[in-house]
Each structure stands twice: as C-alpha cells, then as structure tokens.
Structure 1
C-alpha cells in the first residue's frame, strides 16, 4: 500500500490536465518534481522549435498529451507508486 497523501491526488489531476494543455513546455514534469525532465522538454520545445519552425514543439506537445492522458487514466495508488515512490520520469 502506497503512502497516500491528499496532495498526490491534486498533483495527479493538475499534472494530467497541464500535460494535455501545456505538455510541450514540460509543465507537468515540474508539477511532479521532475525538474531535469521538465527543463529537457522546455529546451527541446523552445530551442528546437525556433530552429525547426515549431516541429519539435509539436512533438513535445504530443509527448505531453500522451503523458497527461496516462496520468489521468492511472489508478491513484498506481500513480503514486510509479511517479512518487519509484520516480519514473518518462512515460
């Protein structure tokens, strides 16, 4: 049984919705506490997007969309075990 904290439910919903809306900029990673992964997504989206005319921003947005849907569809205990206890940073 995971250490269930009420803030985990809030973070699950907030990370899921922000992954869908602002996923290209890695906001959902920052919400979950994965700053390195968040900066990687932000750098690829902004830096690469300026060079590739926004193509990499679209790719990062697709990744954020997929991760947001995964966050919202996971059972709460499974979400806590995966992202807070085991610290899985990607997908």
Structure 2
C-alpha cells in the first residue's frame, strides 16, 4: 500500500513540471491509478488550460499590466497546486480547482 501512496505523490508532483511532466504523470497514473495522482493530474491540466486561455485573451487585448496579472495569477495557482502535491494533500486550487475536478473527471 505504501508504494502506491508514494507513487501517487510522485505522480502528483511530476504533473506540475511542464507539459512533458504532465504527460509523464498521466502515463504513470494510468499504469497505477491513485486518487492523489488523478486529482493532481486534473488540477495541473486545468491550470495549464487556464494559463493558455488567459494568455491568448491578454495577447488579443494587448494590455501590458493585464498580461502581468494573468501570468502572476497562473503562477500562484501553479505554486499552490505544487505545494498541495508535495504535501500529499488533495486540496483544490482557489476559485477554479473544484471545476477542474468536474471538467476532467474522466482522467
């Protein structure tokens, strides 16, 4: 049981390390699914999607201060998710974390 717990924590942390890390975490989690790993794979995917969407919007609007606020907000979500993963907790990121669990429940 402990190996599965450690694998879940490893998957959870790797999920936040770039898109490649997320893909590796997804593959690892599919081989040995854990609730913790699945939770953080969904959270990391949601944060990446929000980051891309907000970057596109801020690029279209092209307001310098808006793009800085967007990048800072995504960075804060990423840090909070990574801290939660490192602590082995299933704590959703603020505002949108619960939605990520709903939207990506198939993962």
Normalising by the smaller structure, the TM-score range is: 0.3 to 0.5
- TM-score computed with the length of structure 2 as normaliser: 0.42
Larger RCO, structure (CA 8 Å, separation 6 or more) = 1
Instruction: Report the TM-score when normalising by structure 1.
Output: 0.47
